[in-house]
Amino acid sequence: MSFSLYLLKGQKALVTGGSSGIGEAIVRALAKAGASVAINYHSHPENADNILDDIKADKGEAIAIQADVSKEDEVQAMFSQMYKQFGTIDILVNNAGLQKDAPFLEMTLQQWNTVIGINLTGYFLCAREAAKEFVRRGVKPDISSAAGKIIFISSVHEVIPWAGHVNYAASKGGINMMMRSIAQELAPQKIRVNSIAPGAIKTDINKSAWSTPEAEAKLLTLIPQKRVGEPEDIGKVAAWLASDDSDYINGATIFVDGGMTLYPGFATGG
């Protein structure tokens, strides 16, 4: 990895949905940059444990915490556990998210509520808890020039409409205004709030879109850079965005998408 080692030394981070996919890559990147990392998972402790073992073998510090981020009491219990073990929080990465796809006319209220509950309400609940601690503690200049950093993992679908995924696209569009409104409100307290909007990244959530050569060829027509992203592409940006090297960035969305948001259909027409 190219960013300097120990950029996040002494900092305590929580990554929701940190036991697989993009979340796992973020956990590993933050740990590599010197942060102590709490890995939140919902239902696969064995994945979280494997990551813990790797981080500890690398002389890093990590813990795993089970919680459903859409439930207020579980989120509060997760933060309490983190404070008990790590004392405080410096970096929150709101990452836990899912898709429940359906044609709009067939989309059930349950599919809608599940996606909004985790992708949007979950981000709200975790951001609010972290922000309370940032405000309570304030800036510790030997740790970071910010009182705290919140990173929202959004999606290109915060700007690209997505037929068949109305619940998901609505949750990601909502994240954009939640992130910017919190950033506006908390910037005076030296809290930085930003988003990373990944494009197509090779994880289980979109496996059918890249796991066969035919599917991948079709997907690449949407990506000017002609490469499907890897989870590490996001991990590296998250570590940098959590560090003081990005100290003047606040309320921004960084698209990490190989150009997917550049309207590739217009490359030769229009």
Residues catalogued as catalytic: 168
Check binding of 180 to ligand BGC (CB under 6 A).
no
Q: In the numeric block, which tokens belong to residue 125?
A: 């609940």
Compute and round to an integer the Cα radius of gyration of the chain: 18
Check binding of 258 to ligand BGC (CB under 6 A).
no
Work out how close the CB of 243 gets to ligand BGC at its nearest, in angstroms, rounded to a whole number: 24
Work out how close the CB of 262 gets to ligand BGC at its nearest, in angstroms, rounded to a whole number: 13
- Nearest partner of 34 among 133, 144, 123, 131, judged by Cα: 144
> Site size for ligand BGC, by CB under 6 A?
9
Work out how close the CB of 115 gets to ligand BGC at its nearest, in angstroms, rounded to a whole number: 11
The terminus-to-terminus CA distance of the chain in angstroms comes to 40
Binding mask 205-244 for ligand BGC (x = CB under 6 A): xx--x-----------------------------------
Binding mask 140-159 for ligand BGC (x = CB under 6 A): ---------------xxx--
Determine if residue 114 is left, alpha or beta; phi over 0 gives left, psi from -120 to 50 gives alpha, anything else beta.
Answer: alpha
The type of residue at 140 is K
Closest residue to ligand BGC, based on beta-carbon distance: 155
- Nearest partner of 231 among 171, 118, 153, 161, judged by Cα: 153
Determine if residue 201 is left, alpha or beta; phi over 0 gives left, psi from -120 to 50 gives alpha, anything else beta.
Answer: beta
Check binding of 199 to ligand BGC (CB under 6 A).
yes
Contacts with ligand BGC in 80-119 (CB under 6 A)?
A: 99
Do 176 and 154 touch, CB atoms closer than 8 A? Answer: yes
Work out how close the CB of 205 gets to ligand BGC at its nearest, in angstroms, rounded to a whole number: 5
Work out how close the CB of 228 gets to ligand BGC at its nearest, in angstroms, rounded to a whole number: 9
Burial degree of 264 (CB within 10 A; 0-12, 13-18, 19+)? middle
User: Of the two residues 36 and 99, which places its CB atom closer to ligand BGC in the complex?
Assistant: 99
The type of residue at 57 is A
Binding site for ligand BGC (CB under 6 A): 99, 155-157, 199-200, 205-206, 209
